[in-house]
Structure 1
Amino acid sequence: MPVHTWLRRRRVSLPLLISVLSLMVLAQAAEGPPKANNWLPDTPKATIRPVEGADHCPQAGQPDPLLGARTKQPGRWLGRQAVSPTLPIVVMAGHADSQNMPSAGTPGYAVDVQRQPPMDAAMRDELFWNIEVQDEVVRQGKEAGLNIRGYRPPALTIRNDNDPRTNWSQARTLSARGEYILEIHFDAYSPHGFGSGLIPAINRPLNRVDEALGQAFGRFPVNFRGGLGGPRRGIGILEIGMLEPPLETKLRDPATRDQTVECLAERVVNALVKGVS
């Protein structure tokens, strides 16, 4: 029953009214402060943190003991646009839909020059390592609290670039929705390759994730080779390094393969964390 109705029916005296109201205030205080919007579910806040550096991962340097030389065609761009900590990040493996085509990726120094067998007869060695690093980046990225996932086309050879299953088509759609697309690559061996670095997307303003990756790996010019098809569709192409010794040797050696992939992915993930933080 409302208090004013109760008081009206009983003609309560002023001293008694004051006593009743005082007791009500004390009772409410004992319950603690009111809980706002109790009917709303709790919304957990994402905790984003860098990957803790493993002892076996070398620190960045010039030249870099892990990545090798940076690109010989440095860009001068800066990524300044802020992004949300919950920015959706999609990681792709470069050349995952273009095997048995001119754009299949580099075979690598070991296969092309040393005549060693490929890691997988169904694909170029570059794609093999692109996939290995892609999977590890997604795994570590989730552990770091990033809003990250991978995409892999269902076929190794899709000859129509506009097929909705290709990296390019997926990137065009996802980038238009504001998602960040990162495609993992290894550059050709020297003297054909350039070195590590990010070729940024050219269909949107450059942001702080681009900047963090540029700081960690190096920067290719924005319009590298006149503007590549991937960047025109929203893909940031990350050249991890040239697929040659000593990096390629560490990848191919079963004794150092896993830790090398882990260290490469750690470098990528920590740059992504820095970009969204």
Structure 2
Amino acid sequence: MTSTQTQLAIIGGTGLTQLDGLEITHRQVLDTPYGAISAPILHGHYHGCAVAFLARHGAGHTIPPHKINYRANLWALKSLGINTIIAAAAVGGIHPQMQVGDLVIPHQLIDYTWSREHTFFSDFNSPTEQMNHLKHIDFSSPYCERLRRYLLDAAKSLPFTVHAQGVYGATQGPRLETIAEINRMERDGCDLVGMTGMPEAALARELELCYATCAVVANPAAGRGNNSEISMSDIEMALELGMSRLRALFTAVLTAGFLDFK
């Protein structure tokens, strides 16, 4: 059976600017009270489920992490009736078990970013009455646990490693980190390092969206690999494998019956 009501959105990160296999029905360009979104939202069907897809860095991967309009992206998806978001992210592996090509479903995060628009509650001139008051969200567990469990249950049928938890450290970018910074993050408890995990997760929580991240380990973090420098060509090669695995996970999720997840 094919679902006609779109409730699920996939946000694609580095290496996933399009969703192969998505039967696109239409594209939607939206403006929001917070400005323009990263790219047109692609609507279509993916393994019988109505899905919306948004390329976080733009259709041509031209928007760096610190310039992404996270508020506009999340607001637009919410306005379309989306209630569930799976966010893809390419990351560096800090913990030795997080090997290149592995998938990780993080359970916690630490935010090292700065000066990004990180809340809908920054003033009292928000575009809806709901936002016209100060609100302190509970962010103890930054990801939707129901969705995390759903992803991990679907992953049991897959022939590759999907880690059931990890602490995602969100850095400012767009440069990669120094060895000392990664050492500090490891002491802080980070297993992974990426540049787009925040404020996306917090904004999703403010909008009461069920949000979880699927991270693809694209490279060992600084000082953690065998090479003295991180090679972008190596990252691109790793992403080919990682994104094929990510698409396999998406397929498993939807063929397992996403419509039963509510």
TM-score (norm 2): 0.41
Q: Higher helix proportion, which one?
A: 1
State the structure with more CA Rg. Answer: 1
TM-score (norm 1): 0.40
